[in-house]
Amino acid sequence: MSEGPVFQERLTAPFAPDALWTAGPLLLGAGAAWALGWGIAAAGLAGLGVFVAAFFRNPARTLPEAEDAVLAPADGRVVAAGEVELPDGRKGWRVGIFLSIFNVHVNRAPVAGRVVSIERGGDAFLAAFDPEAETRNVRLAMELETAAGERVRVVQITGLVARRIVCHPVVGEWLARGARYGLIRFGSRTDVVLPARAELCVAVGQRLRGGRDVVARLPGAAGAGEAGS
């Protein structure tokens, strides 16, 4: 593994910390309503609290063993899978994954690599499945360099309801493949941008599980280290 600081996962509990301060008040309110005899209100608040808590669930995943496997960075449905032009003018591949409000929203590193850049951009909040969302929506792009020198970019993109992107790593840290590094709240999209020599393994419409399913094959993608499942 390359020298330098190693990223330490913070999202290791069964639920992301956000569940406490978003779902907690709703569940407390349900308890208060029940104590006051307001059954319908109690049921409504309890149901909403459970739904919000489920949004922040963080299940453990067993990673594929194949060394060349590029992992899905998120749960959801593939809305884009094809060739794109990279910032340097060369051709590459993009896999776009739409996360509905029912999907797990914790993001995972698709490959092991050193964080070489973190860039924020965009100012819109279009529906995440809109093709224009990838260039106009508020987004955060993290670029990783694998041990083999390949550059892989993973992009967190807000959606129509989402208003906050969480990304824990900093430039210079080494991420293990499958490491849970951040999340997007309430509906979003996560893209993986790969070099041209990668071989895509998914098609539009396919449903994926983050950290478990393979989106592409790229020699040297796994690098050194894998996150615990």
**Intra-chain end-to-end CA distance of the chain, in Å:** 20
Q: Where are the beta strands (DSSP E) in 168-213?
A: 174-175, 180-184, 188-195, 199-200, 207-208
pLDDT tens track for 61-79: 999 988 899 999 999 999 9
Domains and CATH numbers, the chain: 18-55 (no CATH), 69-217 (2.70.70)
Position 127 scores a pLDDT of 72
2 is catalytic: no
Q: Residue 225: is it exposed, middle or buried by C-beta count within 10 angstroms (0-12/13-18/19+)?
A: middle
Closest CA to 191 of 121, 89, 102: 121
Q: Point out the catalytic residue in the list 100, 117, 188, 229.
A: 188
pLDDT tens track for 28-61: 999 998 999 999 999 999 999 898 888 889 999 9
For residue 228, what pLDDT band results from cuts at 50, 70 and 90?
A: low
DSSP helix/strand/coil, 136: helix
pTM of the full predicted structure?
0.88
Radius of gyration of the CA atoms of the chain, in A = 18
Q: Quote the CA–CA distance of 130 and 125 in Å, as a whole number.
A: 10
Position 222 scores a pLDDT of 61
